[in-house]
Structure 1
């Protein structure tokens, strides 16, 4: 393994592995839960379906609902510390 992987490569494996994991998660999410993706032959034969409720449920997933109630700041504690003088 030392011949193929040098120690300088190890720090790069974490972000690359994280990015591959996110891509894989999104791929699985789209294949399993997207109402417009049909994997089986029976579902593909159905044609275009007017299922707005299912599409709305797919678009408003739990993470988006959580972020909707949050303030649009990356570090609100640091921002309030430097912007609000005492």
Structure 2
């Protein structure tokens, strides 16, 4: 339960402080549309997502290759 609660708090904190659509400062709240395309790209394409995009979508690659190996 502690792990789940900490993950929820992490996500809420991350969204509150790093999401380009959340406006905490008064200066940003007055503008209707923010010109922050680069900030939005950095938020959505973070380093962990970039790392995962280059990996094969397998949970256990050694086990998958063991069972799909063609023994003839």
Q: TM-score range by the shorter chain?
A: 0.7 to 0.9
Contact 2:28 2:34 in 1 (8 A): no
Q: Secondary structure at the match of 2:28?
A: helix
Name segments (4+ residues, structure 1) moved above 6 Å.
none
Of 13, 18, 34, 1:49 maps to 34
Q: Which residue of 1 aligns with 2:17?
A: 32
Q: Which has the higher contact order (CA 8 A, sep 6+)?
A: 2
TM-score normalised over the length of structure 1: 0.74
C-alpha RMSD of the superposition: 1.3
Max Rg structure: 1
> Does 2:47 align with 1:62?
yes
CA distance in 2, matches of 1:66, 1:59: 13
TM-score normalised over the length of structure 2: 0.86
